[in-house]
Amino acid sequence: MRLSATVLACLVSLGLAAPASAQSFPDRPITLVIPFAAGGSTDLVGRLIAEKMSEGLGQQVVVENKGGAGGNLGAAAVAKATPDGYTILMATVATHALNPAVYPNMPYDPIKDFAPISLLVTVPNVLVVHPSVPANNAQELIALLKANPGKYSYASSGNGSPLHLSGELFKTMAGVDLVHVPYKGAGPALVDVIGGQVPIMFDNLPSSTQHIRSGKLKGIAVTSPQRAATFPDMPALNEALPGYETYTWNALFAPAGTPPEAIKKLNEEANKAVNDPKVKEKLAEFSATVVASTPEELGKFAAAELAKWAPIVKQSGAKAD
């Protein structure tokens, strides 16, 4: 009888083991890989979300900036990481929609190698210039560039990046000649534009917001279809160039094969984080629009973005070095 009771106790113990393991996630820190240099829009959003997720998860979400190859290095590192939920990626339109069309040899498959978690926010871009540039709106800037072909340059976060393509689309639609100066990330590019080494840049609105407000940069136009709520007096670029629109987005992905219970927990806490009143207020200051999707919705969105941007990249002729 004692043996039967012992066996029964073991069976009960084994039966409880699996759910307990699932419920214990996470039991150690999580690494959030940001595939760009510190200081850019993705870094700002990522650190804000990581801090709030840490509170909800009861474990630290540690940010690791792993820039290079337009986001490919960081994204590839996550794609090849152990699929246990402890390494996740702050992805963008670059890592999951543009790079596959820009880079001839991708180190990962943007669909097959990742498990979607949540589409967090969408973010408009902004056309900024150094205060020394004698133009205060898009019409004046276009006239200046047409009068001085090849004289002015613009900075971007790298060849084939969303910011590079924003510039190339502008050149094509405005019919102007601008020299492209690629950097290894939006942060370093922005530093040189503020310093006056390069006069023009398309940036993500979050990372340029404080510099526009302080007067270190002049905001010429936002790239969203409508004016940004944070800068109601700044025109949308499509007011001068009808049909112009570019943007970026931030989403969380884990390596393919990550357990569903880990994905569920990460999705819940990520969506709680972006909907937290204080976080939402901070994101609104950057004109970031909160989405907070399901994993399934993000999967469909990523596939649609990939299909949308491929012909645009091809038309622009943008290629990575």
Beta-bridged to residue 255, according to DSSP, are: 114
Domain boundary among 239, 258, 285: 239
**Average pLDDT of the segment spanning 179-185:** 89
* Residue 150 shares a structural domain with residue 221: yes
Please tell me the predicted confidence (pLDDT) of residue 157: 84
Query: In which band, very low, low, confident or very high, does the pLDDT at 108 lie, cut at 50, 70 and 90?
Result: very high
**Average pLDDT of the segment spanning 56-80:** 95
Closest CA to 163 of 119, 126, 213, 137: 126
Specify the length of the chain in residues: 321
Q: Are strands 114-129 and 218-222 parallel, antiparallel or unpaired?
A: antiparallel
139: left (phi over 0), alpha (psi -120 to 50) or beta: alpha
Instruction: For residue 44, give the CATH number of its domain.
Output: 3.40.190.150
Instruction: For residue 184, give the CATH number of its domain.
Output: 3.40.190.10
Where do we find the tokens 């990939």?
A: 306
The SS3 call for residue 70 is helix
**Average pLDDT of the segment spanning 117-121:** 97
Work out how many domains the chain is built from and give that number: 2
* Residue 203 shares a structural domain with residue 283: no
Domain that holds residue 195: 124-239
Task: Give domain status of residue 10, yes or no.
Answer: no
Residues 313 and 101 sit within 8 Å (Cβ to Cβ): yes
Closest CA to 195 of 176, 205, 181: 181
Question: What's the helix, strand, coil split of the chain in %, to 5?
Answer: 50, 20, 35
* Residue 43 shares a structural domain with residue 105: yes
Listed in order, strand segments (DSSP E) in the chain are 30-34, 61-65, 87-91, 114-129, 153-156, 179-182, 200-204, 218-222, 247-255, 289-290
**Phi, psi (deg, nearest 5) at residue 283:** -65, -35
Task: Give domain status of residue 7, yes or no.
Answer: no
Task: Give domain status of residue 202, yes or no.
Answer: yes
* Residue 271 shares a structural domain with residue 295: yes
Please tell me the predicted confidence (pLDDT) of residue 169: 86
Domain boundary among 239, 274, 300: 239
Task: Give domain status of residue 110, yes or no.
Answer: yes
Task: Give domain status of residue 2, yes or no.
Answer: no
Which class for 8: exposed (0-12), middle (13-18), buried (19 or more C-beta within 10 A)?
Answer: exposed
* Residue 105 shares a structural domain with residue 193: no
**Average pLDDT of the segment spanning 136-149:** 98
Residue 92 pLDDT > 70, yes or no? Answer: yes
The token duo for 75 is 């994204």
Local structure of residue 109 (DSSP, 8 states): -
Task: Give domain status of residue 153, yes or no.
Answer: yes
The SS3 call for residue 131 is coil
Closest CA to 205 of 98, 288, 289: 288
Tell me how far apart the alpha carbons of residues 64 and 50 are, in angstroms, rounded to a whole number.
11
Residue 76 CA to chain centroid, in angstroms? Answer: 15
Domain boundary among 239, 272, 289: 239
Cα dihedral 61, 62, 63, 68, rounded to 10, equals -120
Task: Give domain status of residue 177, yes or no.
Answer: yes
Residues 207 and 44 sit within 8 Å (Cβ to Cβ): yes
The SS3 call for residue 148 is coil
* Averaged pLDDT of the chain: 90
Task: Give domain status of residue 157, yes or no.
Answer: yes
Please tell me the predicted confidence (pLDDT) of residue 58: 96
* Residue 129 shares a structural domain with residue 110: no
* Residue 37 shares a structural domain with residue 84: yes
Please tell me the predicted confidence (pLDDT) of residue 148: 97
